[in-house]
A and B are shown apart, each in its own frame.
Chain A
Amino acid sequence: MSRFSPYDNNGGSCVAIAGADYCVIASDTRMSTGYNILTRDHSKIYKLADKCILASSGFQADMKALQKLLAARHLIYQHQHNKQMSCPAMGQLLSNTLYYKRFFPYYTFNVLGGLDNEGKGCVYTYDAVGSYERVGYSAQGSGSVLIMPFLDNQLKSPSPLLLPAQDAVTPLSQSEAIDLVKTCFASATERDIHTGDNLEIVVLNAGGIHREFMPLRRD
């Protein structure tokens, strides 16, 4: 008899890229279980605060529970401090929340994107138990193994140890970042069976939040 497993993997991929004054967060909208598709139209992106957006993939029930918990904590913070939580603060809160369940983890692979206190783009990437780091870009989920190497190729800064010294990577404009994200997902969709259907892209900048969609292969 196979033991009851409290977890399931509902698949999907998430990406976030930080720019000088914007942040792009994207994920596909396919929800699957095993080799079956449950729905083609389920968002993995959740707005936690004005300047902070969470994208998670993994077990959808845990994703939902985590989003609700963070939203409630944010409300309490707002009542106590009379302002919204900053992205770095939310980053720490998410890490603590995940580690709180170190011995029965949230099966979620999270990427937090937003603007830091200076208005620059910031991206935090997590593992299931809360280990996190601020980075310039990240991918999580079933397609991350396909997307991350491509992002490294396009966005990674040259090592400071190299001689002769090479320029830091040129800053990406917002529209270039969006195009890059679309390319990533189009490629990941080809080879990852759990990624596809529709791509949801959310852009956060000083002007507010902007959302767009792009269809992906449905096979």
Chain B
Amino acid sequence: MFRNQYDTDVTTWSPAGRLFQVEYAMEAVKQGSAAIGLRSKTHVVLACVNKAQSELSSHQRKIFKVDDHIGVAIAGLTADGRVLSRYMRSECINYSFTYESPLPVGRLVVQLADKAQVCTQRSWKRPYGVGLLVAGLDESGAHLYYNCPSGNYFEYQAFAIGSRSQAAKTYLERRFESFNDSSRDELVKDALIAVRETLQGETLKSSICTVAVVGINEDGTNEPFHILDQDAVQKLIDAFEIVKEPATEAPAAAEPEGDADGAGASDAAQDPPAPAAADEGAAPMEI
């Protein structure tokens, strides 16, 4: 009822003790296309849905490499995300220039959170309209953080943000206890399945999703943050998707027994796709 009176600028509290501009900024994150992150003891995987606005345009970049050991996936206002990624890259470069060692992820997210907080306490600014899933590796292991426009940050085993992320979160909640001990490939598979959950019926193809990984290999060498190549992703998708069954079942909870046996009965959510799929073969534009 009072919402409209107290939401004009970010420096006005509501009688209930809320800052509506900040909450509206979090709404912007919910409107963006989904981004998902999962972590194990040794690896972190980021995956996101990359839908082009029209057949004519390129896909928006939602995953950014920040340094060899840190990457970020964004949801919400991608322009804000791009600017924050540039800030993160610059912080990493300056830290490793001064200390000759990689910036610990926990430090970076605090700096990011402090930067976001500033925008919630200046009358001439607005909060950043982007949520960031920060994936990174440091001496204390693999980490996944979520940074909000509010200036809060949380560490997660697995998380999803953006539109229809609840479907992915439901899947992740069911499976998260096993993630810590997952292998890298199992983690990537789980990420792709979580992405598929957000698509609600549309076929999962590598042309509409992007997957990135960072981690430590079994032999101790680092796997630097990198985005997986489209063909590799398509092969992984094909590996766990068996021929679609024509009979429609309840779309909810249609998750295959996601174990490496590959016999995952991927049913329900894979009704033969009717519309869209016009971005068949459209490759994201490399900028």
Contacts and interface: CB of A to CB of B under 8 A. Distances in A.
A49 interface: no
A39 B90 CA distance: 35
B261 interface: no
Interface in B81-101: 86, 89-90, 93, 97
Nearest to B97: A72
A83 to B, nearest CB: 9
Interface stretch (A24-32, A74-82, A124-132, A204-212): A74-82
B89 A79 contact: yes
A60 to B, nearest CB: 16
Nearest to A76: B93
B230 to A, nearest CB: 16
A134 interface: no
B287 interface: yes
Nearest to B64: A79
Nearest to A69: B97
B286 A82 contact: yes
Interface string A34-78: 000000000000000000000000000000000011001001100
A69 B86 CA distance: 18
Contacts of A76: 89-90, 93
Nearest to A71: B97
Which applies to chain A's interface (DSSP): helix, strand, loop or mixed? helix
Contacts of B65: 79
Contacts of B287: 82
A82 B227 CA distance: 13
Contacts of B89: 75-76, 79
A75 B286 contact: no
A205 B89 CA distance: 31
A82 to B, nearest CB: 6
A76 to B, nearest CB: 7
A68 B286 contact: no
Contacts of B86: 79
Contacts of A82: 286-287
Contacts of A79: 65, 86, 89
Contacts of A69: 97
Contacts of A75: 89, 93
Nearest to B100: A68
Interface string B61-80: 00001000000000000000
Contacts of A68: 97
A157 to B, nearest CB: 41
A72 B90 CA distance: 9
Contacts of A72: 93, 97
Nearest to B96: A72
A75 B102 CA distance: 14
Nearest to A83: B286
A42 to B, nearest CB: 17
A34 to B, nearest CB: 28
Interface in B242-287: 286-287
A68 B94 CA distance: 11
Nearest to A78: B65
B237 to A, nearest CB: 25
B87 to A, nearest CB: 12
Contacts of B97: 68-69, 72
A154 to B, nearest CB: 40
Nearest to A68: B97
B280 to A, nearest CB: 25
Interface string A64-106: 0000110010011001001000000000000000000000000
Contacts of B93: 72, 75-76
Quick one: which of A75, A76, A82 has the most chain B CB within 10 A? A75
Contacts of B90: 76
14 contacts: A68-B97, A69-B97, A72-B93, A72-B97, A75-B89, A75-B93, A76-B89, A76-B90, A76-B93, A79-B65, A79-B86, A79-B89, A82-B286, A82-B287
Interface of A: 68-69, 72, 75-76, 79, 82
Given A72-B97, A76-B90, 12 more contacts: A68-B97, A69-B97, A72-B93, A75-B89, A75-B93, A76-B89, A76-B93, A79-B65, A79-B86, A79-B89, A82-B286, A82-B287
Can you list the 8 inter-chain pairs with the closest CB atoms, starting with the nearest? A72-B97, A72-B93, A79-B89, A75-B93, A68-B97, A82-B287, A82-B286, A76-B93
